[in-house]
């Protein structure tokens, strides 16, 4: 692996300085609260667990044990944290926020949510999605699933991606399922409609890359019959991307986007022979709503409609308490 050049290091550090100022990390206390950034992150980790241990928190945040111990002791003195020794193993001490601790965390979480909302509200819907896609890409690049698995990046589509997606659908479904050119014609029409008239605020197309090479795609549009329903279309994982979680990440990206765009539910159409895709949909929480027989693409098939009820949009502060 080549070492980074000086201009890369300078650009990386320049962005770090810019972003830490944007989110107020340089302030002595976070969001005008009584807590430092580190204390707030510890409070967040405690709030995500009914019970936990100091070692689990330390491992999650990569904190020095002594430093973490002082933070936890401070929380306990303020009545925010309770310790309880395990009945099974007296050496094991469980940590849990008290009712007062959860109230304090809720106030901090609401402040974080308001800060994030104020930042994103300054952007148009399209630029907002570009920002969120870029943040997701940064997270994926700096925290890949594993060193062996290859680097999976989900990004917005660019010129040339539509043609690639149509070609790969046609080729793979012919090679793997024997479907004829009618399927490629169908896919080409769907992508043409998307390119001609999609609304960037509520409809989007993503490409998955593995080590910089296209390895999958999916797009999301508003259902023609129900404005509150988002329709997931044309999920594809190239053989080069299989076994790396590409399909799951693409579907998760669609769900996040649909929630943020205000949809109440999602739906998709597939066929029962597409077993791997169905497993991804089931794992994401989709349920089978309808089945019917049809003859398409040169084969007798069983079509399926899958649906997912959407919970309210995920808070940005659900990932970081800053």
User: Which CATH number belongs to the domain containing residue 203 in this structure?
Assistant: 3.40.630.30
pLDDT in tens, 257-305: 999 999 999 999 999 999 999 999 999 999 999 999 999 999 999 999 9
The set of residues, in sequence order, having a beta carbon less than 8 Å from that of 249 and lying 6+ positions away, is: 152, 154, 208
Phi, psi of 3 (to 5 degrees): -75, 150
- Is the residue at 273 inside a domain? yes
Q: Clarify whether residues 148 and 97 are in a common domain.
A: no
| 145 pLDDT higher than 70 | no
Query: Are 109 and 181 in a shared domain?
Result: no
Structural domain includes residue 253: yes
**What pairs with residue 307 in β-bridges?**
267, 287
**Range name among 16-25, 97-106, 182-191 with the lowest pLDDT average:** 16-25
Distance in angstroms (rounded) separating the CA atoms of residues 173 and 188: 14
Residue 1 lies in a domain: no
The last residue of a domain, from among 67, 94, 122: 122
- E strand map for 177-264: 204-210, 213-222, 229-237
What's the domain range around 222? 126-318
Q: What is the mean pLDDT of residues 182-194?
A: 96
Are 15 and 139 in a shared domain? no
The CATH number for 43's domain is: 1.10.10.10
Tell me the whole-structure pTM to 2 decimals: 0.56
Q: Give residue 317's pLDDT.
A: 36
pLDDT of residue 7: 86
Instruction: Quickly tell me which residue has 């896919």 as its tokens.
Output: 187
Shared-domain flag, residues 54 and 189: no
Across 198-223, average pLDDT: 93
Which H or E run contains 95?
strand 93-97
Residues 233, 295, single domain; the answer is yes
pLDDT the model gives residue 318: 38
Give the whole-angstrom CA distance, residue 163 versus residue 169. Answer: 10
Backbone φ and ψ of 51, nearest 5°: -140, 150
Q: What is the mean pLDDT of the chain?
A: 88
Using CA atoms, how far apart are residues 13 and 308, in angstroms rounded to an integer?
42
| Main-chain phi, psi angles of 209, to 5 degrees | -120, 145
Domain count within the chain: 2
pLDDT band at 320 (very low <50, low <70, confident <90, very high): very low
**Is 285 part of a structural domain of the chain?**
yes
**What pLDDT is recorded for position 86?**
62
Q: Assess whether 47 and 133 both reside in one domain.
A: no
8 Å CB contact between 277 and 235: yes
Same domain for 92 and 186:
no
Q: Are residues 155 and 110 in the same domain?
A: no
228 and 166 both lie in a single domain: yes
pLDDT at 199 over 80: yes
Which residue did the predictor score with more confidence, 73 or 32?
73
- Nearest in space to 192 (alpha carbons), one of 219, 168, 231, 155: 219
């Amino acid at each position: 692996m080549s070492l980074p050049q000086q201009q890369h290091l300078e650009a990386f550090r320049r962005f770090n300085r810019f972003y830490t100022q944007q989110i107020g990390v340089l302030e002595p206390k976070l969001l005008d609260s009584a807590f430092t950034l580190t204390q707030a992150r510890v409070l967040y980790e405690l709030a995500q667990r009914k019970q936990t241990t100091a070692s689990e928190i330390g491992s999650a945040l990569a904190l020095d044990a002594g430093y973490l111990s002082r933070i936890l002791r401070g929380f306990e003195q303020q009545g925010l944290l309770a310790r309880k020794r395990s009945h099974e193993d007296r050496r094991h001490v469980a940590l849990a926020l008290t009712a007062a601790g959860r109230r304090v965390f809720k106030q901090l979480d609401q402040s974080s949510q308001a800060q994030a909302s104020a930042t994103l509200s300054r952007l148009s819907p399209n630029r907002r999605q570009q920002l969120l896609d870029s943040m997701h890409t940064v997270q994926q690049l700096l925290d890949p699933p594993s060193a062996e698995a290859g680097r999976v990046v989900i990004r917005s589509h660019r010129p040339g991606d539509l043609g690639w997606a149509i070609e790969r659908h046609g080729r793979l479904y012919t090679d793997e399922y024997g479907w004829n050119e009618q399927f490629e014609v169908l896919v080409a029409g769907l992508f043409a409609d998307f390119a001609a008239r999609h609304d960037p605020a509520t409809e989007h197309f993503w490409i998955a890359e593995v080590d910089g090479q296209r390895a999958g795609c999916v797009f999301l549009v508003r259902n023609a019959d129900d404005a509150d329903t988002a329709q997931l279309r044309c999920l594809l994982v190239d053989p080069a991307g299989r076994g790396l979680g590409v399909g799951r990440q693409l579907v998760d990206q669609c769900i996040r986007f649909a929630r943020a765009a205000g949809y109440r539910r999602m739906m998709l159409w597939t066929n029962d022979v597409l077993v791997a895709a169905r497993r991804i949909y089931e794992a994401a929480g989709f349920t089978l709503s309808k089945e019917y027989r049809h003859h398409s693409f040169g084969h007798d098939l069983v079509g399926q409609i899958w649906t997912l009820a959407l919970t309210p949009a995920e808070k940005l502060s659900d990932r970081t308490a800053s």
